[in-house]
Structure 1
Amino acid sequence: MEYDELPELTDDMLARATVNRGGRPRSASSKVLLSVRYSREVVDFFRATGEGWQSRMDGALKEYVAQHSRR
């Protein structure tokens, strides 16, 4: 369809329009972007588990926090 063949937008069409932002859906839990250093052994271990290794590393750290904050 060519530009000049497009129908003109009516007020009703604009009133019913919604914004589609696209991309990934936002997570319910917010994350913080930062730079940290880990030992090669730790990084190699988690990377060897394949795709999603950063999420598994986050999960292991969350588990540690949960176990150590119950004191």
Structure 2
Amino acid sequence: MKKLKSKQEEWVDPDDAPELDEQWFNDAHVYVGRPPIKNTKEMLSLRMDFDVLEKLRASGKGWQTRLNKYIKDAVLKGDL
């Protein structure tokens, strides 16, 4: 494995931070929690043949997303 070089960041004096005045608070955006997403997915358990799962995993990162797309395409085509 390759050793990562340590990044040395320049120190910033906290006293140099801008003042939080009334205008700053008026312009601020308020976020409460994580924003809802349009297309939610549901977690499930699925039993698959080992050789199929091994092939999927060997296809690299994102294999679960690709599997979801293959199944979705088959369902929408009426193949399933």
Same fold per superposition (TM over 0.5): yes
Say what the alpha-carbon RMSD is for the aligned residues: 2.7
State the percentage of identical aligned residues: 30
Dislocated runs of 4+, deviation >3 Å: none
Query: For residue 45 of structure 1, what is the aligned residue in structure 2?
Result: 55
Which whole-Å CA distance do the structure 1 matches of 2:47 and 2:66 have between them? 17
Query: For residue 14 of structure 1, what is the aligned residue in structure 2?
Result: 25
CA 27–49 in structure 1, closer or farther in 2 if over 3 Å, else same:
farther
Question: Letter of the aligned partner of 1:30 in structure 2?
Answer: T
Which whole-Å CA distance do the structure 1 matches of 2:23 and 2:39 have between them? 37
Query: For residue 5 of structure 2, what is the aligned residue in structure 1?
Result: none
> TM-score, with normalisation over the residues of structure 1?
0.65
TM-superposed CA distance for 1:18, in Å, is 2.4
User: 1:32-71 to 2 correspondence within 5 Å?
Assistant: 32-68=42-78
1:30 and 2:43 aligned: no
CA 53–27 in structure 1, closer or farther in 2 if over 3 Å, else same:
farther
Which whole-Å CA distance do the structure 2 matches of 1:27 and 1:53 have between them? 21
Q: What stretches of structure 1 of length at least 5 have no aligned partner? A: none
Give aligned pairs, total: 63
